[in-house]
Amino acid sequence: MENIQVALRVRPLNQRELQRGEENIWKIHQKKMIALSNQFYEEVAISKRLSPISKSTFCFDYCFPQQDNNIEVYNKVVKRVALSSLNGINGTIFMYGQTGAGKTYTMMGATKNDDTEELSRPSYNPEEEKLNDSNNSPRRKHNHTSFITETTENTGILILALKDLFNKIENVRHSFKY
């Protein structure tokens, strides 16, 4: 049985947009419908000679306003799909949108650094990975969650999913006695 859900995320305005005094033009109703704000629609309707009746509202399974953070998006839409993969259930989280719509922000998150937004990037240092010397085994000692730092509202859904998956695997691994 297929279960396709469509969620829409209105990203928060970035620092540059806030400095220019821009406002979000989308309004979300009942966490399932989205429409142009009345003020913006009136401006567009006048310039494009649209009828006030032609205002469209679009419906989705979930709509997340700019006030909702990545953790809320993850918990409502992504977490179930990510963790079900451990039970052999295939799932896909597919993101689509125009440039600047917030896909990378939602997936990878962002950190504030001197009032500018930078993408959070996991750091990997191969020098830190040491070979396990026991029995001359080429096995490496891994800490799978070492790249995952403290979870904040800006942590991306991909990082949150990896954190949950590795924690679940680690809990299962510790429940077995060798």
Q: What would the 3-class secondary structure string for 33-44 be?
A: EEEECHHHHHHH
User: Are residues 61 and 93 located together in one domain of the fold?
Assistant: no
DSSP 13: P
User: Are residues 23 and 91 located together in one domain of the fold?
Assistant: no
The domain of 36 spans 1-67
Whether the CB-CB separation of 153 and 102 falls below 8 Å is answered with: no
More confident residue, 138 or 159: 159
**How many structural domains are present in the chain?**
2
User: Are residues 40 and 88 located together in one domain of the fold?
Assistant: no
What are the tens digits of pLDDT across the range 67-105? 999 999 999 999 999 999 988 998 889 999 989 888 988
The rounded distance, in Å, linking the Cα atoms of 1 and 123 is 39
pLDDT (0 to 100) of residue 121? 44
Tell me: pLDDT of 55 over 60.
Answer: yes
0.85 cut: is pTM over it?
no
Whether the CB-CB separation of 35 and 55 falls below 8 Å is answered with: yes
pLDDT (0 to 100) of residue 102? 86
More confident residue, 12 or 138: 12
Tell me: pLDDT of 178 over 80.
Answer: no
User: Are residues 100 and 144 located together in one domain of the fold?
Assistant: yes
For range 114-138, the mean pLDDT: 44
pLDDT (0 to 100) of residue 45? 65
